[in-house]
Chains A and B, each alone.
Chain A
């Protein structure tokens, strides 16, 4: 997994609550058996005017020019600004895969759905919860300023604006540690093999029907 330490990135706003993972990456693209290549179909139904299917040449498809990510000023965005309950719905990890593949490294929103929030951390993508009023202010600043950028510092747990305004965010210590160092969970858990085996031996005796 790619490390996340600090980021200074262009901000793109998706101004609607309850952005679900079906919208982030529609179902037809979930037929892939790979982990990569989802970026061109990120937000497919909002981004293109035609119906997308796997295997299409996306560079030839008609773009919905009104959609934020198709506007010239947001090209190359790495920070996504969202509203409440971002990433709700399906558990598909294809959603963070698509966001990451597109180029996003951080998402700022007042709240995230649990499964999506968790999936982001497995893929070097940092979901940041900020107060709804702060997020609102960031939406306004982003709309007013072309080329609006934010700096994210994971070790200091801060989002910093170009004018030096600083917003602190909370993050679980374990997740922060893994993201800062690009650590994968499985290797970490494997350090506790003895604990797992001890638990299992005990449970095989107390609840043998779970091991049939």
Chain B
């Protein structure tokens, strides 16, 4: 579907050098507690991040069985999915929705009861778990990281083995510090060369998903590599790894380099001075060996990737901004064609409409994909000196954590957004999944920096187009999608 990348080129390789390991192999081997006769394995988990939506039933299970967390200090909690993005200084009392309020109160009570560290709503460190973990140094290179949230793959950007789990597994990790798993296959996604100006980590990962499809990575652990990936900042790598799950892979990982080490240094939970050198020495081995073999290799040419915009109801339904909504009639696979037709009906779009002619009603800049300081800066750079277009009813910017918000305000980004007509909100998952009050009304069309364009994701009947922060800001000021490279 993405005409801007080379033909799919998956090379299946059965041979594997005996000693050479991929990064995933190394992380797996380092955490293997035992392998059962039937091939199932026990894997040790170094860090569990906890939020209010997928934990209450796990805590209840622990209580009913009379169990305690195996290692209280391996858990770190913060509410994010339900929290409102205004009036947070009131704390949990400020949540208007009584059902949401009970869920956040339940997290508070459970963390207090079991002694788990929690950044509560009025704590400046509160935010989206996947922003908070790396920001605090609570997720480190070489760790296994889990959370009852599919976007846990984000933490792989630091050279950690990180993936989402269900609530039963949240309870299992709390009770045993382990997970029962089978090893995944290895996939390398290499983005060669450099991307052009205006092309971001978000565009790279959307182009990857457009190429391999939303099930392309199913059963695999993906390693992202190549010059274009290694040229990204750690935050950019987080954006890429965050959406590994949208390509079907539970985990995405990037090798450790100097940027990783520099990123971690000095963070509150990072290794202390006495341990730092030994930790860094261990992290230096967190890359795939030169002769390691992957079960599948996918290559993209960075120079061919253009700013991306999704047009449908699955992240794989994506085109370059200069393209048009595809025509289902050209699709030969019947199941795919029907899916495309349904998506166009839901999205209220006609085949062959140029992407730049699609006007929007709302803009959402935020989510665990794109709510870090660099995302704020990229959006602010576009918003500066411009105004949100008259046809855009709401353009909101939701920083990923209290600390991102603080830093953005110190840099004056909030003033740029407000002057341009954006709303500057308080941290949380917000309109990525619309569990709080931030949502689309039926039929509303949104340029969103989030990760899923599923039906109803941002509100029942809402229509989501996934883009980068700069592209979202550009759509806000123009009132329709526009190629960021032509904005000047």
Contacts and interface: CB of A to CB of B under 8 A. Distances in A.
B456 A195 contact: no
B361 interface: no
B197 to A, nearest CB: 32
A171 to B, nearest CB: 11
Size band of the interface chain A makes with B: 35 or more
Given A16-B338, A22-B452, A119-B166, A33 B177 contact: no
A85 B317 CA distance: 15
Interface residues of B, number: 78
B219 A203 contact: no
Given A51-B460, A195-B33, A189 B180 contact: yes
B242 interface: no
B168 A207 contact: no
A27 B433 contact: yes
B214 interface: yes
A70 interface: no
Contact of A93 (B100, B167, B269, B339): B167
A145 interface: no
A185 B180 contact: yes
A134 to B, nearest CB: 14
A111 B434 CA distance: 28
Interface in B320-375: 335-336, 338-339, 342
B264 to A, nearest CB: 10
Given A16-B342, A54-B99, A88 B214 contact: yes
A193 to B, nearest CB: 8
A22 B435 CA distance: 12
B182 to A, nearest CB: 7
Contacts of A115: 150, 163-166, 245, 250
B122 interface: no
B42 A196 contact: yes
Interface string A195-212: 110011001000111111
B259 interface: no
Contacts of B192: none
Contacts of B278: 208-209
B34 A195 contact: yes
Interface stretch (A72-80, A146-154, A172-180): A172-180
Contacts of B290: none
Given A23-B456, A192-B33, A195-B33, A114 B38 contact: no
Contacts of A33: 56-57, 60, 102-103, 106
B148 interface: yes
Interface in A1-48: 15-18, 20, 22-23, 26-28, 30-35, 45
A112 to B, nearest CB: 8
A183 B435 CA distance: 34
Nearest to A199: B33
Interface string B76-115: 0000011000000000000001011011001000000000
B455 A45 contact: yes
A189 B214 CA distance: 32
A196 B176 contact: yes
A210 B143 contact: yes
Contacts of A88: 214-215, 248
Contacts of A210: 46, 140, 142-143
Most buried by A among B100, B169, B338, B452: B169
Nearest to B457: A22
A155 B339 CA distance: 35
B18 interface: no
Contacts of B279: 207, 209
Interface string A52-71: 00110000000000000000
A190 interface: yes
Contacts of B455: 22-23, 45
Given A172-B182, A209-B275, A119 B338 contact: no
Contacts of B457: 22, 27
Contact of B248 (A113, A119, A207): A113
Contact of B435 (A27, A35, A189, A196): A27
Given A23-B455, A26-B456, A89-B452, A196 B164 contact: no
Contact of B150 (A15, A91, A112, A208): A91
Interface in B112-169: 140, 142-143, 148-150, 163-169
A84 interface: yes
Contacts of A34: 56-57
Contacts of A118: 165-166, 169
Contacts of B391: none
Interface string B440-454: 000000000000101
B175 interface: yes
B434 A91 contact: no
A30 B53 contact: yes
A90 interface: yes
A196 B172 CA distance: 13
Contacts of A177: 38
Given A186-B171, A209-B140, A199 B166 contact: no
B180 A174 contact: yes
A45 B102 CA distance: 24
A212 B268 CA distance: 11
Contacts of B487: none
B168 A119 contact: yes
In the A-B complex, list the 7 residue pairs whose CB atoms are closest, starting with the nearest: A209-B271, A122-B168, A93-B166, A33-B56, A119-B166, A91-B164, A174-B40
14 contacts: A16-B338, A18-B314, A20-B314, A35-B167, A89-B454, A93-B168, A113-B215, A115-B150, A115-B165, A189-B175, A196-B42, A199-B44, A209-B140, A212-B271
